[in-house]
């Protein structure tokens, strides 16, 4: 139920507005705090392809200082003939690599039926751009005790994005992180158009942390470092970046994947930009994620 307030549209965002929590929301994922003073970097492959591939990317991004490991196990592919992900096996692989390298993990949930198999292995449940307005999924995620990373739909207005987040908060889950991943415009030179103005706007309008995904936003690995630095300067709380050990052999989104060397360069260049806007990288702790138990 919407908190009541006179003279506003009763269907407009309410719980997500900054006025509802002026100090801002901090989302705690094991030792990592998203939305606090430290800038958080989520990195990993687009898709979990095998245990070996995931493990080598996890080792590389952990060594470079990533805080959280990402990897899709249930992939929302435009073509039904494209690699659909390893499913439950992929979730388990990701969880094990995250535990081994001290990184909580993020994976996308496409459907409520997948929640049961994901909940014990995944520290943050990602709702992808194609599912931002899957209201049944949002309602279900309002009831889980896991943080949710809510990506902006590629044709969603800021208002629609905030209302999607409102579903989660209204359902009882206040651990929500927003993620701008580019929107579709007339421009085709890049995969999408990174809407950094919306990041600055949403930071002002809401109390929720906001990440930027420069990988899906641009589709081109050579643009990922510059746009990551721009996101840091614009006030994002962190990044979600795709990295692959052999991008040319990736089963999904290879063109936008950073090599481990490029990811390491990004991590070296971020601190100067963050310092210019009075911020710094979140400390990297080697502690194993505390929020879930995973057998080795």
Provide the binding-site residues for Mn ion, judged by CB under 5 A: 46, 253
CB atoms within 10 A of CB 174: 18
214 binds, among Mn ion, ligand PEP, none (CB under 5 to 8 A by kind): none
When the beta carbons of 14 and 109 are compared against ligand PEP, the nearer one is 109
Q: What is the DSSP string of 74-120?
A: S---SSTTS----THHHHHHHHHHHHHTT--EEEE--SGGGHHHHTT
151 binds, among Mn ion, ligand PEP, none (CB under 5 to 8 A by kind): ligand PEP
When the beta carbons of 49 and 253 are compared against Mn ion, the nearer one is 253
129 binds, among ligand PEP, Mn ion, none (CB under 5 to 8 A by kind): ligand PEP
In the numeric block, the tokens 């795709």 are attached to 242
CB of 253 to ligand PEP, least distance (A): 7
CB of 137 to ligand PEP, least distance (A): 13
The candidate with the shortest Cα–Cα distance to 190, out of 222, 151, 219, is 219
181 binds, among Mn ion, ligand PEP, none (CB under 5 to 8 A by kind): ligand PEP
CB-count burial class (<10 Å; 0-12, 13-18, 19+) for 52? exposed
When the beta carbons of 21 and 77 are compared against Mn ion, the nearer one is 77
CB of 215 to ligand PEP, least distance (A): 8
Rounded Cα distance, 257 and 40, in Å: 19
Structure tokens given for 242 = 């795709």
Minimal CB distance residue for Mn ion: 46
87 binds, among ligand PEP, Mn ion, none (CB under 5 to 8 A by kind): none
Which spans of this chain sit near ligand PEP (rule: CB under 6 A)? 46, 72, 76, 128-130, 151, 181, 216
When the beta carbons of 14 and 195 are compared against ligand PEP, the nearer one is 195
Q: Return the half-sphere exposure (C-beta side, CA atoms, 13 A cut-off) of residue 276.
A: 11
48 binds, among ligand PEP, Mn ion, none (CB under 5 to 8 A by kind): none
Q: What b/e string do you get for 271-286 counting C-beta neighbours within 10 Å, with b at 16 or more?
A: eebbeeeebebbebee
When the beta carbons of 14 and 118 are compared against ligand PEP, the nearer one is 118
């Amino acid at each position: 139920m919407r908190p009541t307030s006179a003279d506003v549209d009763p269907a407009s965002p309410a719980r997500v507005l900054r006025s509802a929590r002026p100090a801002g929301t901090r989302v705690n994922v094991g030792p990592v705090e998203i939305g606090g003073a430290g800038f958080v970097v989520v990195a990993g492959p687009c898709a979990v392809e095998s245990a070996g591939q995931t493990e080598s990317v996890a080792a590389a991004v952990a060594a470079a200082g990533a805080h959280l490991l990402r990897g899709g196990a249930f992939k929302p592919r435009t073509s039904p003939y494209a690699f659909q992900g390893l499913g439950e096996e992929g979730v388990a692989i990701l969880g094990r690599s995250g535990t081994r390298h001290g990184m909580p993990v993020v994976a996308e949930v496409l459907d409520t039926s997948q929640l049961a198999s994901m909940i014990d292995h995944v520290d943050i449940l990602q709702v992808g751009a194609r599912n931002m307005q899957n209201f049944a999924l949002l309602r279900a995620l309002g009831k889980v005790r896991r943080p949710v990373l809510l990506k902006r739909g590629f044709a969603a207005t800021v208002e629609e994005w905030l209302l999607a987040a409102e579903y989660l908060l209204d359902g009882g889950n206040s651990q929500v992180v927003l993620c701008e991943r580019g929107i579709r415009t007339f421009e085709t030179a890049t995969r999408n158009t990174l809407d950094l103005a919306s990041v600055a706007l949403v930071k002002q309008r809401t109390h929720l942390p906001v990440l930027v995904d420069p990988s899906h936003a641009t589709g081109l690995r050579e643009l990922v470092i510059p746009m990551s630095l721009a996101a840091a300067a614009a006030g994002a709380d962190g990044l979600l970046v795709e990295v692959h050990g052999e991008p040319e052999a990736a089963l999904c989104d290879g063109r936008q994947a950073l090599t481990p060397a490029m990811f390491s360069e990004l991590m070296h260049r971020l601190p100067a930009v963050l310092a210019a806007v009075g911020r710094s990288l979140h400390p990297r702790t080697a502690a194993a994620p505390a929020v879930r138990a995973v057998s080795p």
